[in-house]
Amino acid sequence: MPGPKTWQLTAGAAAVGLALAAGAVAMAGPWDSGQRTAERDRAASREARGGAHHQHPAAPGAPAPAPSAPSVLAALGAAAAAPVPAALPPALDQLLGDPVLGPLPAASVLDTGTGRELYAVRADAAMTPASTVKIATATAVLTALPPDHRFATTVVAAPADGTALTLVGGGDPTLDKARLAALADDTARALRARSLGHVQLAYDISLFSGPTVHPIGANENLAPVVALMTDEGRTDGSDSGPAARTSDPAGDTARAFAELLRARGVQADAPVQGAAPAGAERVASTLSAPLPEIVERMLTNSDNDIAEALNRATAIATGRPASFDGGAQALPAQLAKLQLPLNGAVFADGSGLNRVDKVTAGLLTRLLAKAADPARPELRPILTGLPVAGFTGTLSGRYGTASAATGLVRAKTGTLSGAGVNTLAGTVVDAGGHLLAFAFLSTGTPGADPAPVQKALDRLATRLTEH
């Protein structure tokens, strides 16, 4: 297969922009040739990241970053005027019939511009989605909360006793050591202004409720789900992928905060867990990045900790308990508001780690089509957050310089190796300039190595670029 042409790589840097109306692009936020500035900067500054079962070694033959081309968005008019694509050829049937995909794979391909289904095989069959369920998680939270929403971690003081401080977790899954240190700086400065040098410290994690450990049990893909944590509870210094996790991320964060205060001249007692008192006064706070950027990060890196926190945020925003059960109720309720086909759908979590989760290929493509709808600019981070084939996130180690799909395919990966589940759902701009949404789901795949199945899924997505 010939290597990717320059125009393909250029289009890959702005694949979403090809199929969106210019007005929608302007409404969606900061863009550079059709790609969110936040995603571009993050991709340039960070190494490849992987989420659950998606870690990949660095690929020495990976393509160089595609150049940004101001002319890409100018192709919008031509793409919109292009003929509606014909139904996909039988070649896709042959690729879907690869035995490595298991006995009953499912597929759905939509033209996002017209909503026309171009290809469907068992598209209404409810199957285990693995991490592609994060597309649904993203849709739910982006429709439940405003785009300027930020998660706050706050220090408050008791109204009657300013020396009684409480570190209040706000459900921010992106709090890191640097921001915790900055929060300690601001807190110590405020205490000095009040001539306070000794404090009693408590920490409040009451925002979330229910079990903190995922139903599949403690594992390296997810820390206990609590409203206060630092660096996702990782104990090995990593910032992505499977890692050893602390069993007490909230307590560890509070103890680290107390040490930071002491280093700044504030005598802080050993922290204890407890709810912030009524009428407490805010002393200092730290805010996360805006919600769209967090959603992009979740999708690009298949970040399970972010996914579960966003699922609870959806529950809170819709008046439900911030628990696994609350999220399981809130997520489909939000999707139902978009009039999406939820037949057979089960959302036991937000990350896709739960084998009980079920979605259809048709639901995934319609979620992606909603994200491409010019009338839904709030959902655009779903498209811009998808990993780019051969370049970013969980697709950085797949495809490569010899693939015609490098830079063109943008897709959320999903792998549960122990369960024989492998999935791929995303978008691609075809040869006629149409933005196609696709979903390929497989289960019962043979062997413990997911690589052959992933290559078969990649071949399916690659075939769409030739359509």
Report the distance separating Cα 19 and Cα 81, nearest Å: 11
Report the distance separating Cα 301 and Cα 327, nearest Å: 21
The letter for the amino acid at 365 is T
Query: Quick check: 139 and 280 in contact, CB under 8 A?
Result: no
Paired residues of 201 in beta bridges: 165
117-121/31-32 β-pairing: unpaired
Query: Quick check: 166 and 204 in contact, CB under 8 A?
Result: yes
Report the distance separating Cα 132 and Cα 422, nearest Å: 10
- In this structure, what token pair is assigned to residue 436? 């196609």
Report the distance separating Cα 354 and Cα 360, nearest Å: 16
Among 33, 134, 323, 396, which one carries the catalytic annotation?
134
**For the chain, what is the radius of gyration of the CA atoms?**
23
Q: Annotated catalytic, 5?
A: no
- In this structure, what token pair is assigned to residue 53? 């079962």
Among 33, 108, 131, 351, which one carries the catalytic annotation?
131
| C-alpha distances out from residue 295 to 139, 211, 327, 401, Å | 9, 24, 16, 28
Q: How does DSSP assign 267-287, residue by residue?
A: EEPPPEE-PPPTTPEEEEEEE
Report the distance separating Cα 357 and Cα 132, nearest Å: 10
Q: How does DSSP assign 175-194, residue by residue?
A: --HHHHHHHHHHHHHHHHHT
Neighbours of 117 (CB within 10 A): 15
Among 33, 240, 288, 302, which one carries the catalytic annotation?
302
Q: Annotated catalytic, 370?
A: no
Give 45's contacts (C-beta < 8 A, 6+ positions apart).
none
Q: Annotated catalytic, 302?
A: yes
Query: Quick check: 171 and 208 in contact, CB under 8 A?
Result: yes
Which residues are known to be catalytic?
131, 134, 302
